[in-house]
Chain A
Amino acid sequence: MQASEIDWDAIYAEQLPRVYNFFRYRVGDGPVAEDLTAITFEKAWRGRMRYRRDRGAFTTWLFSIARNVATDHFRKNHNELSLDEARDQPAPVPLEETVQRRHDFSHLSMLLSRLSPREHELIAYKYGAGLNNRAIAQLTRLSESNVGTILNRSVNKLSAAWEAEDER
Chain B
Amino acid sequence: MNDEFLTQFREPPRPAFAHALYERISQEKVSLRAQLAGRLTLRNALAGLFALILVAACVYVLAAPKWVEVDKHLWVQERKSTDSFLVGSEPPYYFTSPLLSIEEAKIQAGYEFKVPTWVPSDLYLKGASLFNESASDYSRAYIFWGQGESADVPWELAFQAFYTRMLIMDKYYPESFGMYVGRGSTKMTEVNSIPAVLIRGDWDYHKVFETLPSPDNGFEWDKQAALQLLWKEGDVVYRIYAIGSPASAEDLIRMAESAR
Contacts and interface: CB of A to CB of B under 8 A. Distances in A.
A162 B7 contact: no
Interface in A1-42: 9, 12-13, 16-17, 20-21, 24-25, 34, 37-38, 41-42
Interface residues of B, number: 23
B13 A13 contact: no
Interface in A119-148: 123, 126-128, 130
A16 B174 contact: yes
Contact of B13 (A25, A34, A45, A128): A34
Interface residues of A, number: 29
Interface stretch (A52-60, A67-75, A84-92, A101-109): A101-109
A162 B5 CA distance: 12
A34 B17 contact: yes
B177 to A, nearest CB: 15
A38 B24 contact: yes
Contacts of B11: 20-21, 24
Secondary structure class of chain A's binding surface, majority of residues = helix
Contacts of B29: 45
Given A16-B174, A127-B7, A158-B1, A42 B28 contact: yes
B25 A42 contact: yes
Contacts of A83: none
B170 interface: yes
Instruction: Among B3, B24, B171, find the residue whose CB has the most chain A CB atoms closer than 10 A.
Output: B171
A46 B35 CA distance: 14
B94 interface: no
A159 interface: yes
B12 interface: yes
A13 B25 CA distance: 13
Contact of A17 (B1, B10, B25): B10
B22 interface: yes
Contacts of A105: 9
A64 B10 CA distance: 20
Interface of B: 1, 3, 6-14, 17-18, 21-22, 24-25, 28-29, 169-171, 174
